Amino acid sequence: MPIMKLHFLDARGALTDIHDWLHNRLTETQQKAAGLLPFQPLDVVVQTGKHIIPEKGHLGYAPKPGVVFIIVDPENSALQANVDASLERMFAHELHHAARWDGPGYGSSLGEALVSEGLAGHFVLELFGGLPEPWEQLPESEIRNQAILAAQEWDRAHYNHESWFFGRGDLPRWLGYSLGFRLVERFLSEHPGSLASNLVCAEAQDFRSALSLV
């Protein structure tokens, strides 16, 4: 089993009451994902904070190889309600990023980010089933309207990530997540037998032609 070290930043005891719950949920998800993804040793840092998705009570990010950060808000009722195993699904998304970091990386261009996010989103469905996340379900009309712009900026390394993925600008909130999800969906439909797990190390350029099908 690949090495995963969980680090709980809990000197003030904010995580004490939910430590075991978090530990079990995260460990079980990693064990499940390890059957499908190639993992190198991984540090997972769990801490409290308010910079979370309010509807979920948590947030995850994988900023570099070998580490995933998870922020939880124990005061948010959505956290332990954990509707549709949202904590596990978030962590699975970040685990796909972690595995991709040890391949081609998350990427520095818009196209690479779209593919990395789309693949991670589809890996969650591969592992847990269910529906895409809310940020992967923008109306098709909104996505299609921006696909031409995405094609133009595909190779742009200095793209505005906050605008494309979080709507901090003129673009719809969560556009990048929905566009990336739809892009990978189209690629998978054109390549039977392909899965987000076995595409974890695929180059983003392989997906570019699928943009015209979005």
**DSSP string of 182-210, one letter each residue:** HHHHHHHHHSTT--TTTTTT--GGGGGGG
Phi and psi at residue 46, in whole multiples of 5°? -110, 125
The predicted structure's pLDDT at residue 142: 86
pTM above 0.75, yes or no: yes
C-alpha closest to that of 116 among 142, 138, 143, 94: 94
Give the pairing type, strands 67-72 and 58-64.
antiparallel
- Beta partners for 42? 4
Q: Residue 15: which H helix or E strand, with range?
A: none
Q: Tell how many helices (H) and how many strands (E) occur in the chain.
A: 7, 4
The predicted structure's pLDDT at residue 79: 97
The predicted structure's pLDDT at residue 1: 64
Domains of the chain: 4-101 (3.30.2010), 110-213 (no CATH)
pLDDT in tens, the chain (214 residues): 679 999 999 999 999 999 999 999 999 999 999 999 999 999 999 999 999 999 999 999 999 999 999 999 999 999 999 999 999 999 999 999 999 999 999 999 999 999 999 999 999 999 999 999 999 999 988 888 899 999 999 999 999 999 999 988 889 989 999 999 999 999 999 999 999 999 999 999 999 999 887 8
The predicted structure's pLDDT at residue 213: 75
DSSP state of 53: B
For residue 4, count other CB atoms closer than 10 A to its CB. 19
Helix axis angle for 140-153 and 175-190, nearest 10°, is 90
The predicted structure's pLDDT at residue 25: 98
Spell out the residues 6+ positions from residue 152 whose beta carbon is closer than 8 angstroms to its own.
none
**DSSP string of 60-114, one letter each residue:** EEEEETTEEEEEE-TT-HHHHH-GGGHHHHHHHHHHHHHHHHTTT-S-SSHHHHH
